[in-house]
Structure 1
Amino acid sequence: MKFKQQVRKLTSRNWGVSMKYQLFRISQYLRGWINYFGIVSGYQHCVELDHWIRRRVRMAYWRQWRKPRTKVRNLMRLGVHMQAAVACGITSKGPWRSSKTPGINQALSNAYLKSQGLYELRDGWIKLHHS
């Protein structure tokens, strides 16, 4: 699926840009995609893609933080308790698996990602079909 390939490209490790710019480009792509394909793609499909995109973005944050100490510090700054932050920070799981853990989901919640500028396909679908 070309959609997922493009999102993978926009969240790749070797792009070397800030997360703010990365989220801007992802949101730009998502807006264009939903406006073009929103009529044919079903609501449930958009919800599933949203879930996958948010997990991919959480993984990008996790990879960007790199070192365990930085991960713990950033998780605590985003409101995770110290014990949970340390458990997440020192895990030997890979970034994709880690992106589904409760500590990371609490820190990088849907509301936080939205406040950082991540566009939701679900919102675009609703706007397209109920206007």
Structure 2
Amino acid sequence: KQWKKPGTKVQNLRKLGVPEWQAYQWGNTRLGYWRIAGSAVLNRSVTNEKLAQAGYYDFPAQYERLRQLHSSG
């Protein structure tokens, strides 16, 4: 829960390239973690490309590779 406080949310969203007014709006929402997980906030700011650049495993690409491998054999 590194994103617990509204100020920290705003700072982290700004680091991800979200405009200041939007980071303030999204960072100060009172929705819980579960509600924000599928929202436009994360879908627009934390993309698969950014996760891959940060060194995280690219699940959609791996799934597609495995799907093609199993469908051709």
TM-score bracket for this pair, using the shorter chain length: 0.7 to 0.9
Unaligned runs of 5+ in 2: none
* TM norm structure 2: 0.73
Q: How many residues align?
A: 68
Greater relative contact order (Cα 8 A, min sep 6): structure 1 or 2?
Answer: 1
Cα-Cα RMSD = 1.9
Identity %: 35
Determine the structure 1 residue equivalent to 2:14.
76
Deviations 1:32-76 (A, max 9, x none): xxxxxxxxxxxxxxxxxxxxxxxxxxxxxxx32211101101101
- Of Structure 1 and Structure 2, the greater helix share is in 1
Determine the structure 2 residue equivalent to 1:92.
30
Shift of 1:104: 2.4
Cα 1:77/1:122, change in 2 over 3 Å: closer
Pair 1:66-2:7 in alignment: no
* TM norm structure 1: 0.45
Q: How far, CA to CA, are the matches of 2:63 and 2:44 in structure 1? A: 26
Unaligned runs of 5+ in 1: 1-62
**Aligned partners of 1:98 and 1:104 also within 8 Å:** yes
Deviations 1:58-100 (A, max 9, x none): xxxxx32211101101101111111211111111111011122
Shift of 1:111: 0.8
Determine the structure 2 residue equivalent to 1:49.
none
